[in-house]
Structure 1
Amino acid sequence: MFKIHTAKPEDAAELALLIHSSTNMWYESHGHEKIFRGPAEDCRLFPEVYEDLDPGCCLVAQSEADGRLIGSCFYHPRETHISLGIMNASSQFAGAGIASALLEDIIGIAEDRELPVRLVSSAMNLDSFSLYSRRFFHPYAVYQDMFFRVPAEGGLALIDLPTERVRPATIADVGEIDRLEQEIWRTSRQRDWRYMIENARGYWHCSVIERNGKITGAMASIGHPASNMIGPGVGTSSTEIAALIAAELNQYPGRTPVALIPSNNPKLVAMMYALGGRNCELHLAQAFAETPIIEGIVMPTFMPETC
């Protein structure tokens, strides 16, 4: 019925349409609003950014009957792990085993490289949860998706946040950010931070916070029609992470960015409510094989999905 192979750069438009239609259809069929409210063209963000970061790391399922792409999944090999990115399957082929076949191939790639696999998926999507748990993925963190309405004039702030220690990130900070990630959760993804800080496509903004001349937190964000999110982020202190989140939110006056806040940090959650954050969904971080030990604060995101 279908064959799996590596996507080609010329598949970008068809991939965008598949991501847009299948994601929106799932949410609407379960009584929720669309995730992607603009045209399908907006979802070219995914194949374009991931081809920049990880050329040739998207598997597609192609219908043998008519050649259409009916499933896709991006994966992101890093020094310490492989991250499973956005997965989509055409609703017309529900139950055909597309997602299972894509997942199995990516697990095989990870096992060949002797690396664990990580992902972040919606807690509302029990079909997705079952897909992963049947293959021995297990949750290790819960995140509250919170949206924030940033005033047109910006200026979101809380009293006593150390905002004076926040500054824009530079390429020279990449090594220190990597050191911090390795200390907090033994994770390395330097090229992601370099890519976001360089911002060649014009979507990104990154900040760091320092204490006694040392970087103790970093936060990125993206402002694109298909994704306006705060993260990824990493840090040692709830108040410092809150200051970074506020700094990134204020990059998007008049907009409604979303951030994934770790539910096991009630201090940070309380500060996010005080900033006006409202819950809209829950996500689970899951791992296959080795589970990361987090000794600090880690915030994932959906672009890039390299947590």
Structure 2
Amino acid sequence: MGSYTIRSAQPEDRDALATLIRDSTNAYYQNKFGTGIFPPTEMHTRDFVDLYNQLDGSEALLCVDEDGAIGGSCFMHRRETHFSLGIMNVSSDHFGQGIARQLLTEIIFQAEAAGLPLRLVSSCMNLDSYSLYTRAGLKPFEFYQDLLVDVPEAGLPNADGGIAVRSGTLADVEAIAKLELEISGISRRTDYTHFITNPDGLWHLSVAEEDGNITGYLASGSSQACNMIGPGASRTEEAAIALIDAELDRHRGRTPVLLLPGRFNRAVQHVYGLGGRNCETHVAQCLGEAFRPNGITMPTFLPESG
């Protein structure tokens, strides 16, 4: 087993890190499903690197060998209430060297030093990573169905459920933070602000209102690396459905993916009714006290949101 050290990614690591994410992710999906998910000659995964460089409290950790070659990487994000662990990748040239475990150990150290729980969303289909996290003590607390939806070019049918949905504004950030804290025990003001201000032209955030109060929010991203509905949280399935319809309609002609908690059957059945189809399953895990969500949570992979 070789000798590796961990350091923070620097601006000059951008292309090497993006290449590692693309190639190692494609290698996993090629082995598992017979096809990669990123174009092998494009650098769409720069979007991961660029977003984490913009968000306060976020960074990529690199595991490098004695020659400075990057053997693995992991994104992490310190928020007000918790640490989140994002996408982790290990180069095929460095398999079997304990790199993922070394990166996880470092992030656990930082979270525990800050006195904050560590949260993540991991694939139920990747048992190697699931075992890595559970062996480290992370406990599952929510199960998600990954649903792909082909949004028609003409948009979704207009279904008025009686819940008003509008674009979020910066004036909504504190109300969104309070809402998500009550629903899932977490808050991430920097993320909400980024989605609303949309400096890179990839994001949108909607809020649902009932009786003048925000009862749910849902963001979505149209990055080439991750076309996804979320993150979001809502008190009720009715609010979640209204938000899902509004954000899906913004992705006309595209096929975004949405994560829904499997225990909320009405919302799941609604997405099935829109043509949604299952493509994977994920589980939310936590090291430290896990707050069992008392509403609907909809996580994403970019940025990660456990």
Gaps of 5+ in 1: none
Find 2:55's aligned residue among 53, 56, 76: 53
**2:161 corresponds to:** 161
The Cα offsets for residues 102-148 of structure 1, whole Å up to 9 and x where unpaired, read as 00000000010011100001100000011111101111111000000
- Gap change, CA 1:238 and 1:58, over 3 Å in 2: same
- Gap change, CA 1:156 and 1:88, over 3 Å in 2: farther
Q: Aligned equivalents of 2:124 and 2:37: distance in 1?
A: 15
**1:12 corresponds to:** 14
SS at match of 2:221: strand
Runs of 4+ residues deviating >6 angstroms: none
| 1:136-151 map, 5 Å | 136-151=137-152
Report how many residues are paired.
304
The answer to whether the 8 Å contact 2:57/2:77 transfers is no
The answer to whether the 8 Å contact 1:16/1:40 transfers is no
**1:192 corresponds to:** 191
Query: What's the TM-score, normalizing by structure 2?
Result: 0.96
SS at match of 1:231: strand
| Paired AA for residue 21 in structure 2 | I
Per-residue deviation, 1:240: 1.2
| Paired AA for residue 272 in structure 2 | Y
| Paired AA for residue 105 in structure 1 | E
| Paired AA for residue 127 in structure 1 | D
Q: Aligned equivalents of 2:282 and 2:305: distance in 1?
A: 15
Per-residue deviation, 1:40: 4.0
SS at match of 1:41: coil
The answer to whether the 8 Å contact 2:117/2:289 transfers is yes
2:260 paired with 1:261: yes
Q: Aligned equivalents of 1:121 and 1:202: distance in 2?
A: 28
Per-residue deviation, 1:241: 0.5
The answer to whether the 8 Å contact 2:145/2:281 transfers is yes
| 1:1-307 map, 5 Å | 1=2, 2-37=4-39, 39-54=41-56, 57-65=59-67, 67-158=68-159, 161-162=161-162, 165-307=164-306
Q: Aligned equivalents of 1:68 and 1:271: distance in 2?
A: 47
Q: Aligned equivalents of 2:145 and 2:57: distance in 1?
A: 31
SS at match of 1:36: coil
Q: Aligned equivalents of 1:289 and 1:55: distance in 2?
A: 20
The answer to whether the 8 Å contact 1:218/1:234 transfers is yes
- Gap change, CA 1:162 and 1:21, over 3 Å in 2: farther
Per-residue deviation, 1:38: 6.3
- Gap change, CA 1:223 and 1:56, over 3 Å in 2: closer
Q: Aligned equivalents of 1:40 and 1:106: distance in 2?
A: 30
Q: Aligned equivalents of 1:133 and 1:205: distance in 2?
A: 34
Per-residue deviation, 1:55: 5.8
The answer to whether the 8 Å contact 1:234/1:299 transfers is yes
Q: Aligned equivalents of 2:40 and 2:182: distance in 1?
A: 39
The Cα offsets for residues 166-223 of structure 1, whole Å up to 9 and x where unpaired, read as 1111111111101101111221111110011100000001100100001001000000
Identity of paired residues, percent? 47
The answer to whether the 8 Å contact 1:150/1:249 transfers is yes
- Gap change, CA 1:68 and 1:167, over 3 Å in 2: same
- Superposed CA RMSD in Å reads 1.4
